[in-house]
Amino acid sequence: MVASEAGTQARLLDLLKGPVIAVQSFFSLAGRAVVNIFRSPHYGDDVALQMDNIGVGSLPIVVLTGLFSGAVMALQMARVLSQYGQINKTGTAVAITLVRELGPDLTALMVAGRNASGMASELGSMKVTEQIDAMRALGTDPIQKLVTPRLIATCVMLPLLTIIADFVGIFAGWVISSGFMRLSSRLYWSSTWRALEWSDLAQGLLKPFVFAIVVSLIGCYYGLKTTGGTQGVGNATTQAMVTASVLIFVLTYLIAQMFFGQTQL
Amino acid sequence: MSETAQSILRFENVTVTFEGDPVLRGVSFEAREGDSRVILGSAGSGKTVLLKTALGLIKPDSGKVYVFGRDLTALREKDLFEIRSRIGMLFQESALFDSLTIEENVAYPLVNQKAIHCPPVEVRPRVAQALEFVELGGTLDKFPSELSGGMRRRAAIARAVVTDPRLTLYDSPTAGLDPITAHTIMALLVKARDVTRTTTLLVTYRYQDGNVMANFRYNAEQGRLEPARNGARPQARTTFMVLQEGRLVFEGDQDQLEASRDPYISKFVKQRV
């Protein structure tokens, strides 16, 4: 009986060992990537290259996402609000929903799909072809050269992309409201403007910053721990995309809870 | 092998494990200045791990690794950069950076290794010289993807020797190459060894590679290899080592290797063409 319990405990410990080591190595990578921001050498060219890749490269899909989510929100909200005679509040609903939730979340999901997976596959390919080892052998810290520039670039570009997505979404809401719902433009924009409070803007800008850290570090983490050739690269890419997306939803809830708690106080 | 020559690389009872599985088991040997060592072993015998441990890329679970007299196991990653700047390494897959041109790849150690102190004006001439050395003078602006496998391997050799390292590590330099290209690569390695007089560790599963390393020297005047048992210098000798499942099961010269009756060891010698 005692031996059986000991065996169960050992199996449980074995099961937990993997996830605990993974979390530990993720935070170790995150810590080193952040500390490297303040250490030389600084790879400015790589930061600019990544900003172009993440920011400019993601712009078309982010604009399209903002455009259609804003349009859909305006259509759906106008329909519901008209039942209560509150169609003039359409701008309010679109603005709050987009700035607080949909803008940051959908933009982060798009960037996760495009860039977290891209980072994982790029770094994973470098890992399995020994380029990461070569980098270390040739006097370069791979975290400083590869991870820190991606972290900085994502933290700068994702909030900017979110602002663009928010604006394009609100603009699309105006097009739908004024074009199809016969809502006056002045009413739409004034209700939008009045609806947004500082806490909404803070929430709308804090979220993409937190998501940027998660998206970039998850992509780099899975890329750097890739093993097993091209199949391993494929697995790393999928895992990075899935983990980053799930964490975006989890963090969305936690941040919303944090702001809700403040409002209650 | 001269006993008075300086110790360049010393393994003391080194054990490396991956997820509990031993990959190197109590490996001990010493390479002195000017030595050539040929490390034979089948796939998964720990050859690559041995080279990466010598470079400090892998930390041993137990034992000590001394390079140029310094214990790598006691150093932090950033302190290893100075030691690595004196070691040239050819990786199995060449490991050229895809996003950089051949010129940028070969210049990489000169530009990024602080301990080398290469003035910016000297970088391009040294890169051109290293590429001429491997007969790739016209490829400076090309990307690795534009070169054949053999040419990539030669570019990687140029990157390994551009800093004039005191210790050069070659990981399966002829793997996956046709016999003619493989011979060209081996000729370059002998040339690099004899021109720069560097200590050389060659990992391979092909006995022919070790045979070239042990029995040929580079004639600088005629610009070609010529037969010469024991390499370029009379006092320098090529030592063969055989790894089997992480254990060093043989260490000796070519005659001892060929005389061995161990089935695993003699398997490599029988490959001789």
B115/A136 CB distance under 8 A:
no
Residue identified by tokens 């390479």 is B31
Which residue among A126, A135, A137 places its CB closest to the CB of B55? A137
Residue B52 has pLDDT above 80, yes or no: yes
- For residue A135, the chain B residues in CB contact (below 8 A) are 97
Give the closest residue to B209 by CA, choosing from B248, B181, B244: B181
Residues 6 or more apart whose CB falls under 8 angstroms from that of A111 comprise A54, A58, A62, A154, A158, A161, A211, A212, A215
Within a domain: residue A28? yes
Is A23 exposed, middle or buried (CB count within 10 Å of its CB: 0-12, 13-18, 19+)? exposed
Q: Is the Cα torsion angle A88, A90, A93, A99 positive or negative in sign?
A: negative
Within a domain: residue A131? yes
User: How many CB contacts within 8 angstroms connect chain A with chain B?
Assistant: 48
Residue A265 to residues A197, A259, A261, Cα–Cα distance (Å): 17, 10, 6
Cα gap B83→B73, rounded to integer Å: 12
B92/A130 CB distance under 8 A:
yes
Residues 6 or more apart whose CB falls under 8 angstroms from that of A150 comprise A50, A54, A119, A216, A219, A220
Which residue among B85, B96, B159 places its CB closest to the CB of A139? B85
Within a domain: residue A258? yes
Residue A189 to residues A84, A253, B98, B168, Cα–Cα distance (Å): 20, 29, 50, 69
User: What would the pLDDT profile of B93-116 be if each residue is shown by its tens digit?
Assistant: 889 999 999 999 999 999 988 888
State chain B's mean pLDDT as an integer.
88
B108 touches chain A (CB under 8 A): yes
At A65, list the tokens: 């996402």
Residue B230 has pLDDT above 60, yes or no: no
Please give the tally of structural domains in chain A: 1
Domain hosting residue A155, numbered range: 24-35+43-264
Give the closest residue to B211 by CA, choosing from B268, B134, B262: B268
User: What would the pLDDT profile of A30-54 be if each residue is shown by its tens digit?
Assistant: 999 999 999 888 899 999 999 999 9
Give the closest residue to B67 by CA, choosing from B38, B47, B41, B88: B88
- For residue A134, the chain B residues in CB contact (below 8 A) are 89, 91, 95-97
A131/B84 CB distance under 8 A:
no
Give the closest residue to A120 by CA, choosing from B156, A193, A128: A128
- For residue A133, the chain B residues in CB contact (below 8 A) are 52, 57, 91, 95
A2 touches chain B (CB under 8 A): no
Within a domain: residue A17? no
Q: Is the predicted ipTM greater than 0.95, yes or no?
A: no
B113 touches chain A (CB under 8 A): yes
CA B111 and chain centroid, separation: 22
Which of A138, A145, A225 has the highest number of chain B CBs within 10 A, making it the mutation to test binding with B?
A138
3-state DSSP helix/strand/coil % of chain A, to nearest 5: 90, 0, 10
Residue-level pLDDT at B72: 93
Average pLDDT over residues A117-139: 94
Average pLDDT over residues B143-156: 91
Within a domain: residue A208? yes
Give the closest residue to B249 by CA, choosing from B89, B46, B34, B6: B46
Domains identified in chain B and CATH numbers = 1-86+166-187+198-273 (3.40.50.300), 94-164 (no CATH)
- For residue B112, the chain A residues in CB contact (below 8 A) are 138-140
B123 touches chain A (CB under 8 A): no
Within a domain: residue A120? yes
User: What would the pLDDT profile of B177-188 be if each residue is shown by its tens digit?
Assistant: 888 888 888 888
Residues 6 or more apart whose CB falls under 8 angstroms from that of A156 comprise A51, A55
Residue-level pLDDT at B1: 46
DSSP β-ladder status, B87-90 and B167-171: parallel
A52 touches chain B (CB under 8 A): no
Residue identified by tokens 């199995």 is B92
Q: What is the pTM of this model?
A: 0.86
Within a domain: residue A205? yes
- For residue A140, the chain B residues in CB contact (below 8 A) are 112
User: Do residues B24 and B260 touch, judged by C-beta distance below 8 A?
Assistant: no
Within a domain: residue A259? yes
CA B91, B129, A41: angle at the middle one, nearest 5? Answer: 60
